[in-house]
Amino acid sequence: MDLDISGIWKTIEGLEKAGYTSWLVGGAVRDLLKGEQPRDIDLLTNAGEDMIMSLFPRARRIGKGDQVSWILPMGEGNWELTCLGVRSLEEELQRRDFTINAMAMDSDGSVIDPFDGRKDLEEGILRFTGDPACRLREDPVRSLRFCRFASIFHMLPEDASCSVIRELSPGLPRAHKQRVGKEILLCAVKGGLSGFLSLADDLELTGLYSFFPGIEKHGFTLVLKDLPPLEGLACLEELERMGSFPVCALALFFLGEPGPFARNDVSDFIRGYAWPGNLVKGILQLRRYALSLISSPSERMIFEMIEEVEYQVRRDVFALVSAIFAEAGKDLRPLKQKADLMYRMEKELLSSGLLLGGREIMELFQLSPGRHVGSIRRKIRFLVATGRISSREEVIREIQAILDN
């Protein structure tokens, strides 16, 4: 979410009037120098804790020791205000992960840039601030952030930084799975998951983090029933070119090899990433219907998809399978015919006056409420959607035949 930054300078000026120095720091400076609206607001000040609480009584204190911050509620978003403490501004900036995030801006717009982050930003080079080994030991997830920033900002990874990641990462503590999931999700949302995974593989991080089920055995090769082994990253790049929703990119590598990954296993794996519930649901739906569309795309399967999942999920299923078939070199015309069939069935169900509600069925045939009424409705909806019945009389005869059997 882009945040309204109109109050930043007023906040800084308010601290300055109270006798303290303050700066805008980190990603917000980077975004402003790129001519973009900041997504996060981080402020740094040499004001003490008592003064901060006096100036911002609604602030919430976080952190401990020499790294104390306050969350300032500001309209639709939150700003983070960090207390400089005994450190200098340069010492604080040196703790930042990358040079492009290690800049500060004061109230008159002047940029403090001790690590040449502005030059790296202009030249499109991504490097760690100071000693890469120190930055990685402080937080091992920075190796994944390095891959994410290089991908979504289209930056060239510095060779020295890459070498240190390869050398040190195997001996560092593993990042928590939820933090790994966050990096993957952010890349998918920005359409940069293929670049992230490709660089992570080049930096030998794939084996450490096992981003998806079966990756230890097959790498990024997709092994799907009735298809030759496919280059998964090529399929992913095609999805990104198509502008598909992030759920498509994320679902691709959860299709899995036939057999070993039951639905519950995939579900448990995904939930370990702590992604939003609606996203997890969408991935599992995409997995189910994409595999069905690849192996057994019947009228009944198309109808079930119409009945069970939302409009956008159905479109995503076809986009996902289209990218897979394109990589497999398959004729896309049969897939398009199935898509056309789905559109016709959707249209029939939306426009038909033949469909009877559950209450109407119970009244006409003197039935009690129960699951059998829903089953009857579903059978009639299938016959209407596929054009097998075209009059109210046929509907009534069909229901009677169902009851007689």
Q: Would the pLDDT of 21 be above 70? A: yes
Q: Would the pLDDT of 131 be above 90? A: yes
Q: In what order do the strands lie in the sheet with 60-64?
A: 60-64, 67-74, 77-83, 41-45, 22-25, 104-105, 111-112
Total length of the chain? 405
Instruction: Report the b/e string of 162-199 with b at 16+ CB within 10 A.
Output: bebbeeebeebeebeeebbbbbbbbbbebbbbbbbbbb
Q: How far is CA 345 from the centre of its chain?
A: 31
Domain map of the chain by residue range? 1-120, 124-211, 242-349, 352-404
Q: Would the pLDDT of 175 be above 80? A: yes
What pTM value is reported for the model?
0.88
Q: Would the pLDDT of 1 be above 50? A: no
In contact, 92 and 84? CB cutoff 8 Å:
yes
For 312-349, what is each residue's pLDDT tens digit? Answer: 999 999 999 999 999 999 999 999 999 999 999 999 88
For 60-70, what is each residue's pLDDT tens digit? Answer: 888 766 677 88
The confidence score (pLDDT) of residue 296 equals 83
Q: Would the pLDDT of 2 be above 90? A: no
Q: Would the pLDDT of 260 be above 50? A: no
For residues 204-220, average pLDDT: 89
Q: Is 118 exposed, middle or buried (0-12, 13-18, 19+ CB in 10 A)?
A: middle
Most confident stretch, 14-18, 24-28, 143-147: 143-147
1-120: what CATH class?
A: alpha beta
For 82-128, what is each residue's pLDDT tens digit? Answer: 888 778 899 999 999 999 999 999 888 899 999 999 999 999 999 99
Q: What is the CATH number of domain 124-211?
A: 1.10.3090.10
Task: Report residue 78's pLDDT band, with 50, 70 and 90 as the boundaries.
Answer: low
Task: Report residue 58's pLDDT band, with 50, 70 and 90 as the boundaries.
Answer: confident
